[in-house]
Copies of this chain bind each other. A is one copy, B any other.
Amino acid sequence: MSRWEPNARERLAKAALELYGERGYEQTTVAEIAKRAGLTERTFFRHYADKREVLFDGSSALQELFVNAVAEAPQSAAPIDAVAAGLEAVSTVFVGRHGHARRRHAVIVANAVLQERELIKLASLSAALADALRRRGVPEPAASLTAEAGVAVFKIGFERWVEAAEERTMAQFMRESLDELKAVTAGG
């Protein structure tokens, strides 16, 4: 028998998402989140660096997945196609999570500081992708630009998937967005 209930971290994340949804991010104090999770404010900050970070727990795993898929794409694949493989890989982890993603996204869209945090996560993803592309032999600035383009596709594909009904898969939205980007940058 343990001294405390297990899964403190998960309880905090759940309580935070609930409270941010119920009364809004700014109207929620960290003390309230901790209380709902049966913990104290101090313990919250031992698990999460700040009040925003609690909404971004899975982001480093997602980044890792994306980067690995890019790294493992066939060497014959063009940079943009390696990124496309990453988009496919990432899409699989969202299967069955449409509801959760939607609730979380609604909270983030409602608060500028949360959007800032999301944007820096995407910037970190972009940097990691550029790195993976460079390891595939892609020179700069092509690596960084391909990475930025990939993140732009992910961002817009994700938004459209979240706002859509649940029937269509995320992968479909990603393919559509990528094709659209290719069309739009063609020529010149």
A residues within 8 Å of B by Cβ?
A: 78-81, 112, 115-117, 119-120, 123, 141-142, 144-146, 148-149, 152-153, 155-156, 160, 176-188
**How far is it, in angstroms, between the C-alpha of A186 and the C-alpha of B148 when the chains are bound?**
15
Does more than half of chain A's interface fall in helix, strand or loop, or is it mixed?
helix
By beta carbon, the residue of chain B nearest A155 is: B148
The 9 A-B pairs with the shortest beta carbon distances in the complex, nearest first, are A148-B152, A116-B116, A119-B119, A185-B185, A145-B181, A116-B120, A146-B184, A142-B184, A141-B180
Question: Judging by beta carbons under 8 Å apart, are B188 and A182 in contact?
Answer: yes
A170 CB to closest chain B CB (Å) equals: 15
**How far is it, in angstroms, between the C-alpha of A123 and the C-alpha of B179 when the chains are bound?**
22
- Return chain B residues, CB-CB under 8 Å to A115: 120, 123
Question: Judging by beta carbons under 8 Å apart, are B184 and A80 in contact?
Answer: yes
- Return chain B residues, CB-CB under 8 Å to A183: 142
Question: Judging by beta carbons under 8 Å apart, are B146 and A149 in contact?
Answer: no
Q: A119-B116, A123-B115, A141-B177 are in contact. Are A184 and B79 (CB under 8 A)?
A: yes
A149 CB to closest chain B CB (Å) equals: 6
**How far is it, in angstroms, between the C-alpha of A176 and the C-alpha of B139 when the chains are bound?**
14
**How far is it, in angstroms, between the C-alpha of A123 and the C-alpha of B182 when the chains are bound?**
21
Q: A80-B188, A115-B120, A182-B188 are in contact. Are A156 and B145 (CB under 8 A)?
A: yes
**How far is it, in angstroms, between the C-alpha of A125 and the C-alpha of B46 when the chains are bound?**
36
**How far is it, in angstroms, between the C-alpha of A150 and the C-alpha of B177 when the chains are bound?**
16
A116 CB to closest chain B CB (Å) equals: 4
A35 CB to closest chain B CB (Å) equals: 27
By beta carbon, the residue of chain B nearest A148 is: B152
Question: Judging by beta carbons under 8 Å apart, are B142 and A148 in contact?
Answer: no
